[in-house]
Amino acid sequence: MKNQKTTILTMLLVFIFIGTGFAQYATKKIRTKHEAYTDSLKQVDYKFVFPILGKGAYKKGFDIPYPAGVMANYIYMKQNIIVENLKLGFKNGDTDIPLTPTDFIGFGENTSTAWGYNVRADLWVLPFFNVYGIYGNSTSRTEINIVKPISLNSVVEQNVRTSGFGALLAAGLGPIFISADFNWTWSKPEYLDKSVMVNVMGLRAGHVFTFKNNPKSNIGVWIGTMNIGIAADTKGELALKEALPVDFWDKKDQFVENYDAWYDGLSIAEKLLADKVLTPLVDAIDNIQEDATVRYGLEKRPQETWSGLVGAQYQINKRWMIRTEASVLGNRKSILGSVNYRFLI
């Protein structure tokens, strides 16, 4: 049982905050009611390198964004996760146990919550094609529930550093804009030796409402969907004192008694399996050997990879935008707030 709690905590460390890109339309055609502004766009002598074909877009009356931008995002996200194929290992002095399957450990509902920021720098290479880089930091809180062979709950918080890159395609279909966003990020939780790769795909469609008296200012609204994929295999190790909460050690005697009672009810074959890794772990807990090392391997994934999105952006002018987006439908819940500054290069 102790073993299982250790496992839980370890798994909590695994699920990371996702740095992700968000919808942004590439161009908008100004309506005839802004005829004077449209005519002025057609007269623009665009001498900047990016976006490539930008001069042609202006000549046709499209009001394209300034090519370069920096966006600051703050996000909160909560979702259910699935943990499978757990393996445990153990190292303590001369005892060195490799990763061993622990199929007798069963999990209930597990959740991952994350909150933090990321900064995204982007460039419109073409009027319809954007590339960007992401860097961010966040806090991840993972709650794991074991229901078999005994009930246990464990929560672990850790800091996560994220970096990556992405690309966005956008176009207009009459009054509707559509975009497809793809990014790949690598997140490094503080308790894992290696980064975890996450890939995100977002599809969005919406409409831009331009202010009658100020065509440089507008409000865009959209709906869409997002898919999140996470590298399934995770391996790592941590000290026993990091895997178990501080207040656990005050209750360790009851924990050991519960393990002994569960162990006594096993068959001979099951006891042999438990003795490979669980019993040495319990002995280390019973003797308060906090520096013993727990090894773990597991597969994890979101319970639902797809979620629905709704979002809106207020463009104050061509340099400043404020944006929000939320996940709806499915068990993934998130809310984003961001500020974007754009400039010519």
- Rounded distance, CA 325 to CA 337, Å? 7
- Over residues 43-70, the pLDDT tens digits come to 677 788 899 987 887 787 777 889 999 9
Token couple for 90: 């153990």
Q: How many CB atoms lie within 10 A of CB 272?
A: 10
pLDDT over 60 (residue 152)? yes
Would you give the end-to-end CA distance of the chain in angstroms? Answer: 60
343 close to 319: Cβ distance less than 8 angstroms: yes
Residue 23: closest CA among 344, 323, 228: 323
Token couple for 30: 């100004």
- Rounded distance, CA 299 to CA 76, Å? 24
Each domain of the chain, given as residue ranges in start order, spans 2-343
Asked, as a colleague might, if the bond just before 302 is cis with ω within 30 of 0, I would say no
DSSP 128-162: TEEEEEEEEEEEEEEEEEEEESS-EEEEEEEEEEE
Residue 20: closest CA among 170, 230, 166, 204: 166
Task: Please give the mean pLDDT across all residues of the chain.
Answer: 81
What integer pLDDT is reported at residue 31 of this predicted model? 55
- Rounded distance, CA 303 to CA 196, Å? 17
Torsion angle of the four alpha carbons 247, 252, 253, 257, in this order, in degrees rounded to the nearest 10: 130
pLDDT over 50 (residue 187)? yes
- Over residues 193-234, the pLDDT tens digits come to 678 888 999 999 999 998 888 888 999 999 999 998 876 677
pLDDT over 70 (residue 324)? yes
